[in-house]
Structure 1
Amino acid sequence: MTEFIPPGTRWFALPSPFPFKRGGVLHGARLAYETWGRLAPDGSNAILLLTGLSPDAHAAAHADDPRPGWWEWMLGPGKPIDTERWFVVCVNPLGSCKGSTGPASPDPRTGEPYRLDFPPLSIEDIADAAAALVRGLGIPRLAGVIGNSMGGMVALALLARHPGIARAHVNICGAAHALPFSIAVRSLQREAIRLDPAWAEGRYDEAHYPESGMRIARKLGVITYRSALEWHGRFGRVRLDPDRRPDDEPFGLEFEVESYLEGHARRFVRRYDPNSYLYLSRAMDWFDLGECCGRPGDAVAALAAIRGLEAACVIGVGTDILFPIEQQEEIAEGLRAAGCRVEFHAMPSPQGHDAFLVDAARFGPAVGGFLAGLSHAAME
């Protein structure tokens, strides 16, 4: 499987060997990242942006890559994350296939892709790699760390394992541990990939790629990224025109919503490595911030033990079924117990978990307003 690497990507060499929480090490590993803005001489205006499972580091257009990024409306000059004020670093997570070392990357021992020889990846490993990048860029302390979805998990692990690494935190649709429903969905996604004969115990290639498994996995994911309200409002029970229905396929596509899922899935497959999907998905299921303070399952105690964080903005969505809003309420409660000044926003967005990618009218002011309140102290 070929890695998909955006043209404006930069790389950071991780310490070698780089140890993993659950055992195993990487040699010669790297992280892919992109930057916007200018770093202040004392490094005080740096913001780290941590992504969800599938995005690359290209969050917005810049001089080296003018293509619109996945968070184009949020990041840039005069936008909520104002790059005329902040120096922003977006990092592709360790284990991904978008430039950072992952299962699709060549193992220096063999020259062949790691595949299932990649070490067992955890959210904590992703956080430790991000911390190494921050230090490697010469940033003594981040003004803030922003994490959404899986990135919200990584951000909490970063703050817990590296006390004082950031003054402020924005957690968007994140969680301090995985819930049973989310684990169940991701388990089915992994099963769909593993049961595809072309997966071949992780030894597929471009000619033999588990396309059916990845399509089903992506469809399951997309269903949970939006809400029932969103599906009803966008598609209702509208059927496809007869000329868009496959004539020779029993039980084929019949409704508009089915066609949407199929199109979304087909755009995703072959642009993401199945083994990377398996590793990152499992890392989310394994994550329990309580383990950081020796109290598995006690997220509030783990959050209350975080030190060095001054302010936080926690945002959840009432229609999110994948990372339900009670998980963001838990984060806010725990960070307040840590002595942190916390803003909490419960967004009524109908788009569910993916609202932070599309609901600019709600999320832009919440993020921008919080960062504006930090800017004076950060720029002194």
Structure 2
Amino acid sequence: MAFRAFHLVNSTRLAQFTRQSSRQLARTASTSQCSPSFPCVDAHAARESRLKATSRTSSSTSSVHHSGSGPEPAYARPNPTSYNIYHHSKPLPLTYSSTPLLTFDIAYETWGTLSPKRDNVILLHTGLSASSHAAATSANPTDGWWQKFIGPGKALDTNNFFIICTNVLGGCYGSTGPSSINSETGRPYATTFPILSIFDMVRAQFCLLDHLGIEKLNASVGCSMGAMQSLAAGWLNPDRVGKIVSISGTARSSPSSVAMRYAQRSVLMADPNWRNGFYYDSLPPHTGMKLARQIATITYRSGPEWDQRFGRQVRPRPESEDPSSQRIPALCPDFLIETYLDHQGEQFCLKYDANSLIYISKAMDLFDMTLPALESLGLNPPPFSSSSLHTVPNQTSSHSKSHPPPLNPPPHLSDLARGLSPLAHIPTLVLGVQSDILFTVEQQREVADALRMAGNEGVSYYELGGVWGHDTFLIDVLNVGGAIRGFLS
């Protein structure tokens, strides 16, 4: 009984205290001039409202929605009239599908003049989300994504070479991808689009080359995912590729890069607007795309650059803001590095198709040129015995960064050398960046070592310093451009 009485008394006091606290909090809230503000969250809501308004306007004038109509943005940037379209009307066999892709389009742009023998062609491969617009053209004078590397006297010298750049299969800038209309249904493919491989993308590019009457490339050049394509081009068609340039790429995706791309796809697919990929007649997953881009941006640069560029500075507060709150941290972007990531996400989230990002990033994850991986896909290189493996020499020439050769190469390196055997007679430039955290410099050494083990005596290997990380291939015109120009000359 005593315990019960004690419990009742304390329960009563607790109830009285709770009521008093609630009244006090209510009075505080009513008198306070500050209420929680989350402009970063409000920005997502405002964007969604704009997209819904666009949807209502479009639905009153059209009963069918697809890319370019309704709230879903048109992904054909730059303007479709500024690039060429090659339509392939024959089935394209695919690596992971028993059913071929019946037809497809490839968007492409060109620079320079094709020689009478058609032997001065460079095929330029893009990264994950780039369009075919690598440099300005008469049809589209705006700067391209590799503007400073293409032109007279530049790394890809248009006085000597005819450069072709395509939007990859699976993309959304003119080439066939998940946002394209499936002729059998009259609706976008969405996630009924087949899983792609890097090899599928390259096969589609060679269909274009066949159409243009180009039998052999002077060089296959690529950065990032483009470096994967560049190696794949030489592997698939060793007699049709004169030289290979692989910049900040890899011959097999590492677990760390797979993990980062998986995180991007996860936040994108968790966006309720994604709807298992069927969002083309509704709102696109813009919030998921923004977050995915923020994750990606972290991998594109480096910590030392963040220190130099932003440090621990916070954003300037508006003068209209209450001075007493100037020193109170914000839950939305506050540090300059946060505002930079926020800006990068905002710029990207409606410019690229979410499904294209998912499909192409998955193709990067699946890329593995070791012999067992290739054989598991039915992709068999020419016979290559273990006795054909060469010891990796210690490179000390002026054009090759020295690093200790593997005295006892791990099994995966021997497997990679066997897988890369079709490239044994193709001169190859491998260029890496010491601050790259997405495709680490160790992966560039691995490619160079494997090629040399396979018997390739024409490997030129460079390591660049600097703080720009993976994006060095877009920024360091002097060193990246110089290495390419010297290798191609």
Fold shared, TM-score > 0.5 on shorter chain: yes
The equivalent residue for 1:334 is 450
Which residue identity lines up with residue 88 of structure 2 in the other structure? L
The equivalent residue for 1:349 is 466
> Which structure has the higher relative contact order (CA within 8 Å, separation 6+)?
1
Greater alpha carbon shift after TM alignment, 315-324 vs 19-28: 19-28
CA distance in 1, matches of 2:355, 2:275: 11
Aligned pair partner of 1:276 in 348, 356, 375: 356
Q: Is the Cα–Cα contact under 8 Å of residues 160 and 306 in structure 1 kept in the other structure?
A: yes
CA distance in 1, matches of 2:278, 2:184: 17
1:210-233 residue CA offsets vs partner (Å, 9 max, x unmatched):
111101100000000001111111
The equivalent residue for 1:130 is 205
Greater alpha carbon shift after TM alignment, 336-345 vs 39-48: 336-345
Secondary structure in structure 2 of the residue aligned to 1:64: coil
Distance 1:330 1:36, change over 3 A: same
Secondary structure in structure 2 of the residue aligned to 1:25: coil
The equivalent residue for 1:116 is 191
Q: Is the Cα–Cα contact under 8 Å of residues 425 and 456 in structure 2 kept in the other structure?
A: no
Q: Is the Cα–Cα contact under 8 Å of residues 95 and 280 in structure 1 kept in the other structure?
A: yes
Q: Is the Cα–Cα contact under 8 Å of residues 144 and 166 in structure 1 kept in the other structure?
A: yes
- CA deviation after TM superposition for structure 1 residue 234, in Å: 0.6
After TM superposition, the structure 1 = structure 2 runs for residues 144-159 of structure 1, keeping only pairs within 5 Å, are 144-159=219-234
After TM superposition, the structure 1 = structure 2 runs for residues 191-210 of structure 1, keeping only pairs within 5 Å, are 191-205=266-280, 207-210=282-285
Aligned pair partner of 1:10 in 84, 90, 93: 84
TM-score, normalised relative to structure 1:
0.93
The equivalent residue for 2:441 is 325
The equivalent residue for 1:313 is 429
Does 2:94 correspond to 1:20? yes
Q: Is the Cα–Cα contact under 8 Å of residues 198 and 210 in structure 1 kept in the other structure?
A: yes
The equivalent residue for 2:46 is none
The equivalent residue for 2:168 is 93
- CA deviation after TM superposition for structure 1 residue 40, in Å: 0.8
Which residue identity lines up with residue 105 of structure 1 in the other structure? S
Gaps of 5+ in 2: 1-66, 68-73, 382-410
The equivalent residue for 1:161 is 236
Distance 1:340 1:165, change over 3 A: farther
Does 2:367 correspond to 1:292? no
The equivalent residue for 2:391 is none
Larger Rg: 1 or 2? 2
The equivalent residue for 2:142 is 67
The equivalent residue for 1:34 is 109
Which residue identity lines up with residue 354 of structure 1 in the other structure? D
Aligned pair partner of 1:57 in 120, 132, 136: 132
CA distance in 1, matches of 2:281, 2:186: 17
Which residue identity lines up with residue 217 of structure 1 in the other structure? A
- CA deviation after TM superposition for structure 1 residue 242, in Å: 1.4
CA distance in 2, matches of 1:324, 1:142: 28
Which residue identity lines up with residue 18 of structure 1 in the other structure? L
- CA deviation after TM superposition for structure 1 residue 163, in Å: 2.1
In percent, how many aligned pairs have the same letter? Answer: 40
Q: Is the Cα–Cα contact under 8 Å of residues 164 and 307 in structure 1 kept in the other structure?
A: no
- CA deviation after TM superposition for structure 1 residue 28, in Å: 2.4
- Relative to its length, the structure with more strand (as a share) is 1
Gaps of 5+ in 1: 373-380
The equivalent residue for 2:63 is none
CA distance in 2, matches of 1:98, 1:120: 18
Which residue identity lines up with residue 371 of structure 1 in the other structure? L
- CA deviation after TM superposition for structure 1 residue 15, in Å: 4.8
1:64-85 residue CA offsets vs partner (Å, 9 max, x unmatched):
2111111110001121111011
Q: Is the Cα–Cα contact under 8 Å of residues 58 and 90 in structure 1 kept in the other structure?
A: yes
Does 2:294 correspond to 1:219? yes
Q: Is the Cα–Cα contact under 8 Å of residues 124 and 157 in structure 1 kept in the other structure?
A: yes
Aligned pair partner of 2:339 in 220, 238, 259: 259
